[in-house]
Structure 1
Amino acid sequence: MVDIGPRDSTASRVADTVRARIIDGELLPGAKLSQERVQEALGVSRSTLREALQLLIRERLLVHQLGRGVFVRQLGMADISDLYRVRRIVECAALQRIEVIRPAGLRAVNVAIEDGRAAAAAQRWGHVAAASIRFHEALVALAGSERLDEMIKEVLAEFRLAYAFMHDTQAFHARFLERHTGIAEAVGSGDLELAASLLDGYLADAEREVLASYRPQPSRRRRSRAG
């Protein structure tokens, strides 16, 4: 029997590194990934890198174009609407099905809110976006399901691709940041139906704003090359 565990583990670590660069905005949607540069920078074999890229392709963060290479995926309008549809289904249902509100879980929600406020005060809007993602992950985590946690992490990672081409992410995050507090307060009071309703409205409003301000840049996509 062949033991492929170590290589699988290395591929996962490589995928984590590339995923983080995508989520942090270092690799823009539409950018071509230089596999040679990634392989050299991370010191991994071609087969390990191939496994890592396949993981990210399955997560819909990368796309392989026959004869052209691997690119960071660029979302279309239909993709954004579908992601919001999934988010409303998963996040709102998770809130409605919380059986026990654990203090540690609620603290994680509130810490994400506080981090977002601090980042906004410092005008660090990329950190505000990251704190917002952690807020939504923490909400879903209150349901106590590892599978839901994994699902929402993948959905939110893909969703971060939209931020790269939004017209004004600063105004977007500033408008929605304070709405986190109302949702958290409803959860903390035990009114899960209200929390789910507030979250549903929040996501519906956010979808409209994202779609209205989404501005893909074909010329940048053609120029971009990353690795």
Structure 2
Amino acid sequence: MAAGVDPAVLAGDRALLGRASTADRVADILRTRISEGYLPPGSKLSEDVISGALGVSRNTLREAFRLLTHEKLLVHELNRGVFVRVLAVQDVVDIYRVRRLIECSVVRHLGAPPYDLAGAGDAVAAGERAAAGAQWRELGTADIHFHQAVADLARSTRLSELMTGVLAELRLAFHVMDDPREFHEPYLGGNRRILSALEAADLVKAELLLASYLDDAEKQLVRRYSETVAGGDGPR
């Protein structure tokens, strides 16, 4: 007969679980701030400021930093500190490769309607409100939310979590664009057209629109990165 679980062993793990859970929550907050454009690439993250603002210990914050470094959102530089990562051209290309694999595949395999398009519809509406108010950072955030909603249509927790990390990393690339309106505003119409095709259950059209959208965005970002970052010699 197998031996039972020793409660003393699990009790010793309780503190580790508490720290990990808090660190996960801190990482979620910082990841969201990165994906919303509040922490631009190259920003130094002060332990004193962030731990004080969030009311967490330095150890908890450092664990959150480690999690986000593993996700390629932050980079630790010896004797300098922790910084929001600066992407290279190769990173942008790879992000869009992953986006095609996720988003186009999700649309292709949706099956028969109805689809839960509330999240995608809310993101398009939020983007239209942001554009009307000339709130270009918020428009970028709405774009991120739209494509997260597309990935969420697969109803896979693992895939949604993967897409969250990919899109947070993508937001780091947006900062290279000098004119956020010129970059984001045309893609709002693209999101609306993709949504309309999904509402009509025309998956072939939706996938074609999405693939074209991703191709155009990648080319635009890569061209700008090639002009300004020169292969990404910043923190990796």
TM-score, length basis structure 1: 0.89
Partner of 1:54: 66
Count of residues paired in the alignment: 218
Asked if residue 178 in structure 1 is aligned to residue 189 in structure 2, the reply is yes
Amino acid at match of 2:92: I
CA distance in 2, matches of 1:140, 1:20: 17
Amino acid at match of 2:135: R
SS in 1 for 2:41: coil
Partner of 2:94: 82
RMSD: 1.9
Asked if residue 162 in structure 1 is aligned to residue 173 in structure 2, the reply is yes
Asked if residue 207 in structure 1 is aligned to residue 218 in structure 2, the reply is yes
Asked if residue 114 in structure 1 is aligned to residue 94 in structure 2, the reply is no
- Write the deviation string for residues 110-140 of structure 1: whole angstroms up to 9, x where unpaired: 1211111111011011111111111111111
CA distance in 1, matches of 2:88, 2:140: 20
CA distance in 2, matches of 1:71, 1:106: 36
Partner of 1:29: 41
User: Which runs of 4 or more aligned residues in structure 1 lie more than 4 Å from their structure 2 counterparts after TM superposition?
Assistant: none
Query: Aligned pair in 2 of structure 1 residues 144, 21: CA closer, same or farther (>3 Å)?
Result: closer
Does the 8 A contact of 1:30 with 1:74 survive in 2? yes
Partner of 2:209: 198
CA distance in 2, matches of 1:51, 1:101: 43
Tell me the percent identity: 44
SS in 2 for 1:166: coil
Amino acid at match of 1:139: V
State which drifts further: 34-43 or 80-89. 34-43
Query: Aligned pair in 2 of structure 1 residues 181, 22: CA closer, same or farther (>3 Å)?
Result: closer
SS in 2 for 1:178: helix
CA distance in 2, matches of 1:70, 1:40: 16
SS in 2 for 1:64: strand
CA distance in 2, matches of 1:210, 1:93: 23
Partner of 1:69: 81
- Write the deviation string for residues 21-52 of structure 1: whole angstroms up to 9, x where unpaired: 32333322112222222223322222211111
Query: Aligned pair in 2 of structure 1 residues 182, 21: CA closer, same or farther (>3 Å)?
Result: closer
Q: Unmatched 5+ residue regions in structure 2?
A: 1-8
CA distance in 1, matches of 2:29, 2:155: 27
State which drifts further: 188-197 or 37-46. 37-46
Q: Unmatched 5+ residue regions in structure 1?
A: 223-227
Does the 8 A contact of 2:107 with 2:203 survive in 1? yes
Does the 8 A contact of 1:88 with 1:203 survive in 2? yes
Query: Aligned pair in 2 of structure 1 residues 175, 189: CA closer, same or farther (>3 Å)?
Result: same
State which structure, 1 or 2, has the greater radius of gyration over its C-alpha atoms.
2
Does the 8 A contact of 2:140 with 2:184 survive in 1? yes
Does the 8 A contact of 1:168 with 1:213 survive in 2? no
Does the 8 A contact of 2:32 with 2:168 survive in 1? no
